[in-house]
Amino acid sequence: MSWGTDQPGHPQDHPQGYGYGYGQPQQPYGQPQYGGRPYPQQYAGHDQQWYAPEYVPEQATADYTAHPAPEPETEPEPEPEPVPDAPPKPVGRDRYFDTLRAVALVRVVTYHTFGWAWAGMVFPSMGIMFALAGTLMAKSLERPALKVIRSRIRRLLPPFWFWGFFVVVAMLIHGWMPGWQIVYWIVPLGDPPGNAWGEQAWEILWYLRTYLWFVLLSPLLLRVFRLAPVGVLVLSLAPILVVHFLWEPPDNRFGSALTDLATFLFCWILGFAHRDGVLQRLKPFAVVVLSLAAIGYGGWYAFTHQAETGSYDLDDIPLAQAFWSAGFVTLLMYAKAHFRIDFAGPAHFRRLDRIVTIFNARAVTLYLWHEIALILAVPLIDQFWNVPAFETYLPLESQWFMFGIGWILIAVFILLCGWVEDVAAKKKPRLLP
């Protein structure tokens, strides 16, 4: 969806500080010009996936009884035995993955509203979304790689351009003077620049940048993974150890991108492992023990290094984020592979199933516009104080009230802007999927 490093960023882009990836200072929602009543909420970093079609395990065919056939004159050759661990063939959407993505998006909005440091430990949304995207990418690469990459970029960029137009114009109106780095607002291979006025809106773009790089690297990563699946999966945690203990990346866009790639590389490769049926072949005891060990190490490191960041928030500690997400997401993906979980039961609740469908079909829109919705909720609630009845009966000072107003505004943005995702996917534009 978030889903980083302490990177001060590029002061040349704006004088008030500019940061990318993890480790951003917490700051309150709203702009200084909105006086209003004080709100206790604070911004706590970024958090973040991605929509694309999923698959469900192949459904068993119905039993049947064949009519006896005459014996052949010669003995037929024996049929080849089925491979028990072969990965299932995609036949439709997988509600387990759809539900995980929807919950991840809800957690992103919740985290950006309340700033709870423990939220990333309860549900590491960004690691989950990178793993789901890795699974889909491995599935898509059954087709020619260039065609797949072009399709992924086409689905990503139009919603980004549409959203970015409003953000860039607003920053220009508020005094932003862009340089050549504005090209990153066209193709976000690096963090797009901006000024402090719009920082809360564009700060989440680290996820798009990381996702785009993973898409471009996936043909090579998948080829390397298939040479030695289990070994490559384990070694995919090595880059974050190198970045953290042996070599400090440069303090620029390249260093920020490299750190985020190292942080979530395991989760992306884990998606490959799920798609290729590697997880099904692993022993449950080994998977559980190693996953819990990774979670334990990530949690231990986060709690014992609070003095460096002022918090145990995983978004501020890339090493802890990498290991916690690796263990947590492995358990989720292994449960899917081992127990064949499909979440078909919740589909009987039509309203809940409808919400999951909308969240998945409008995941890009929801992720891009949710910060703007939360920002606009502050001046909107300020106006409520001018209505005596609202001031008396509504909990205007509550973060939960702002959370609710934020979701109302998110719904409005989905209705107004979600059609861009249909256009990007070469579908007929619709108000709702």
Asked if residue 126 lies in contact with residue 263, where contact means CB atoms within 8 angstroms, the answer is no
* DSSP letters for 290-339: HHHHHHHHHHHHHHHTHHHHSS--GGG-HHHHHHHHHHHHHHHHHHHHHH
pLDDT value at position 92?
A: 57
Q: Is 30 left (phi over 0), alpha (psi -120 to 50) or beta?
A: left
Domain ranges of the chain: 92-123+364-432, 126-343
Asked if residue 223 lies in contact with residue 141, where contact means CB atoms within 8 angstroms, the answer is no
**Separation CA 135–CA 330 (nearest Å):** 13
pLDDT value at position 183?
A: 94
Pair of tokens at residue 280: 């099904």
**Separation CA 90–CA 38 (nearest Å):** 51
End-to-end CA distance of the chain: 20
Residue 376 neighbours by CB under 8 Å, 6+ apart? 409
Residue 368 neighbours by CB under 8 Å, 6+ apart? 159, 160, 163, 204
Asked if residue 341 lies in contact with residue 335, where contact means CB atoms within 8 angstroms, the answer is yes
* DSSP three-state, residue 412: helix
pLDDT value at position 154?
A: 94
Q: Tell me phi and psi for residue 43, to 5 degrees.
A: -85, 140
* DSSP letters for 56-106: -PPPPPPP--PPP-PPPSSPPPPPPPP-TTPPPPP-S--HHHHHHHHHHHH
pLDDT tens for each residue of the chain, 433 residues long:
434 333 333 433 443 333 334 444 344 444 334 334 433 344 334 443 333 334 334 333 334 334 344 444 444 444 444 444 444 444 457 889 999 999 999 999 999 999 999 999 999 999 999 999 999 999 999 999 999 999 999 999 999 999 999 999 999 999 999 999 999 999 999 999 999 999 999 999 999 999 999 999 999 999 999 999 999 999 999 999 999 999 989 888 999 999 999 999 999 999 999 999 999 899 999 999 999 999 999 999 999 999 888 899 999 999 999 999 999 999 999 998 888 877 766 667 888 889 999 999 999 999 999 999 999 999 999 999 999 999 999 999 999 999 999 999 999 999 999 999 999 999 999 988 8
Residue 4 neighbours by CB under 8 Å, 6+ apart? 20, 21, 22, 23, 24, 45, 46, 206, 256, 259, 260, 263, 315, 316, 318, 321
Asked if residue 47 lies in contact with residue 4, where contact means CB atoms within 8 angstroms, the answer is no
Task: Give Cα 185 distance to the centre of its chain.
Answer: 20
* DSSP three-state, residue 114: helix
Asked if residue 414 lies in contact with residue 365, where contact means CB atoms within 8 angstroms, the answer is yes
Beta strand ranges found along 167-304 (DSSP E): none
Asked if residue 271 lies in contact with residue 129, where contact means CB atoms within 8 angstroms, the answer is no
Residue 93 neighbours by CB under 8 Å, 6+ apart? 53, 54, 55, 56
**Separation CA 180–CA 189 (nearest Å):** 14
pLDDT value at position 401?
A: 97
**Separation CA 345–CA 186 (nearest Å):** 42
Residue 272 neighbours by CB under 8 Å, 6+ apart? 134, 135, 137, 138, 221, 222, 225, 229, 278
Pair of tokens at residue 228: 């030695």
- Residue 281 CB coordination number (10 Å): 13
27 bridge partner residues: 43
Residue 301: closest CA among 244, 238, 260: 244
Residue 359: closest CA among 370, 375, 345: 370
pLDDT value at position 161?
A: 97
